[in-house]
Amino acid sequence: MAFERVNKLPMTTLILQHLKKNGDISSMEANGIYKCRSLSRRITDLRELGHHITAEWKKDQAGQRYRRYSMFPPYHTVTNL
């Protein structure tokens, strides 16, 4: 049985669109919404493309630590001069 994604956009594009629309995302959200198994890798890919994305450690109600990635306006990229 092959898994077929409903949305054909690349995962990095989906994550970038989510960040621009919502401001932040966690691995649990990325997995639940987009079936993204490696959010940290997609964030690295976006940073390598010049997007300024910050990360902050958080704790859930059970005390489990997780990273929340954020991107706030203006959505500009860093260009190499």
Residue 58 vs residues 25, 26, 43, 53: alpha-carbon distances, Å: 12, 10, 17, 16
Question: 65-70 and 24-26: which strand pairing?
Answer: antiparallel
Please give the domain boundaries of the chain with CATH numbers for all domains: 11-70 (1.10.10.10)
Give the predicted TM-score (pTM) of the model: 0.80
- pLDDT tens by residue, 23-42: 999 999 999 999 999 999 99
Average pLDDT over residues 51-77: 89
